[in-house]
Amino acid sequence: MQAASQALSWVCRNPGSAARRAIPLTTLLLAALALLLASPAGHYGLVLAVVPFLAAAVHTVAGTAAVGALTLGTYVLLRSQLAEGETSVWLIKLGFVATSAVVAVLMAQARVRERALAHSRDLALALQQGLLPRQFPHSSAVEVCHRYIPADTKAGVGGDWYDVIPLSGSRVALVIGDVAGHGIHAAAMMGRLRTAVHTLADLDLGPDELLARMDDLVARTGANEEQCELAATCLYLVYDPVTGHGSMAGAGQPPPAFVDREGRVEFARLPEHPPLGLGGTRFRKVDFAIAPGTVIALYTDGLLDLRRNHTDVALSHLADDLAHGGPGLDGMADRVCSSPHVSTDDDVALLLARTRTLPTADVASWDYPAAPRSVPRARNAVTAQLEAWGLGDMAFGTQLAVSELLTNAVTHARGPVTVRLIRDRALICEVSDCSSSAPRLRHAQLMDEGGRGLDLVSQIADRWGTRYTDTGKTIWIEQALPVLLR
């Protein structure tokens, strides 16, 4: 009996081979031969009831049904050996064998469904993990740690995601979101939203404007997909390591937590906005100041398990886990994710970021009036600062770019004008003014008198762009530092 049990277990673990698939039929033939040689008055015929269960372990539903029919037919053939007086007992045995065949078919159906669900879940999980970032680029603004825990459910993985996006001026964007639903569709939609956030982040949009455009995108996507209602939550946070300030906006996401150096936890107060996809929502951003060394915790609602806990209770549990986590971000993430209060029915995404500030010696800023005399003054100041940083070889191209940008600001914008240099993993030069009109890159023709300024700047810079502020705009350029200075 033990050997048979081990054989059946081995067959269940290793389905698919032609030899293994022949085991039920071989067993049926051997059992029929043994029953023909045995006494017909005995109960040995009940051994045939095992055959459909063997078939259910290795065959499809149709194959199991065929083997069950053969088993039942074999048992009927044995009826010819019985005396007339034993018909009632034989009918009971026949019903038992028929029942085992039906149960085996049901077991085969359940096994096929389970394998299909497992396959679908594995595909969704592979897609989810393939679309999530495996590692983030180095940032002087934050040190990051992230965790993703798929749901322990047959519904499949969900659309939880997170991201860290470098922005201009050494700033960084922290993003977390959740697409409603589970399975491949949710994972694929998560990838589309993550790509959209990257694209909009390159435009240097504020958190409120970025979420407004994401809201329109999700609404349009949901309108085009009639078979499902599309909804997603998202929180977008921007941190500036030069000033130590940031801004954020959320759409249906739980509030981020801030953990200071002493372990005190405070949850941000965000305006309540619905999830993305409704369309027409007017998002509001929240500005904040944060001390260096503070940990920003972004998470999805699976971490709170709101199905079983009230919001205040769940946030209290999370605050306790964050406050008593390990000294490093990994220890804190492990403490939070191993908490008994974490949901097992929903995916969990966690993003921790410890803030940093750039040294004041790596930032230089000057304010000038919107007058032509400001251009040579700024050029001289920039050259002197680059010499002090040991970047004299980059002075010619940088002062040329500053001259072009500052001349445009003096000519077309309103003052005052601010020039700022940032020495990070790249040399960043910014020119800010009080005008909201942005310059447009043109490719001047041979006889054109103007239009070459931005084209020249784009040739000097590795990256450049424009971002809008509450008081005007900032045009920035980035130049790669020499390898030894990075």
Residues 448-460 have a mean pLDDT of 69
Query: Is residue 468 over pLDDT 80?
Result: yes
The pLDDT > 70 percentage for the chain reads 77
Residue-wise pLDDT tens digits, 363-373? 999 999 988 89
Side-chain-side CA neighbours of residue 58 (13 Å): 22
Residue-wise pLDDT tens digits, 277-334? 888 889 999 999 999 999 999 999 888 877 777 888 888 889 998 988 777 899 999 9
Question: Quick one: tokens of 188?
Answer: 């694929």
pLDDT band at residue 429 using 50, 70 and 90 as cut-offs: very high
Per-residue H/E/C for 230-266: CCEEEEEEEEECCCCEEEEEEECCCCCEEECCCCCEE
Name the average pLDDT for the chain.
80
CATH topology of domain 132-355: Phosphatase 2c; domain 1 (3.60.40)
pLDDT band at residue 60 using 50, 70 and 90 as cut-offs: confident
Q: What is the pLDDT of residue 345?
A: 72
CATH architecture of 360-485: 2-Layer Sandwich (3.30)
Query: Is residue 395 over pLDDT 70?
Result: yes
Domain with CATH 3.60.40.10 in the chain: 132-355
The neighbour count for residue 110, using CB atoms within 10 Å, is 12
Q: What is the pLDDT of residue 5?
A: 44
Question: Quick one: tokens of 404?
Answer: 């072009």
Residue-wise pLDDT tens digits, 339-357? 887 876 778 889 999 999 9
For the chain, the straight-line distance linking the first and the last C-alpha, in angstroms and rounded, comes to 70
Residue partners of 177: CB distance under 8 A and separation at least 6: 159, 160, 161, 162, 190, 193, 194, 197, 232, 233, 234, 235, 253, 300
Query: Is residue 143 over pLDDT 60?
Result: yes
Residue-wise pLDDT tens digits, 10-50? 444 444 455 666 666 676 666 666 655 555 555 556 677 77
Domain with CATH 3.30.565.10 in the chain: 360-485
Reported pTM = 0.76
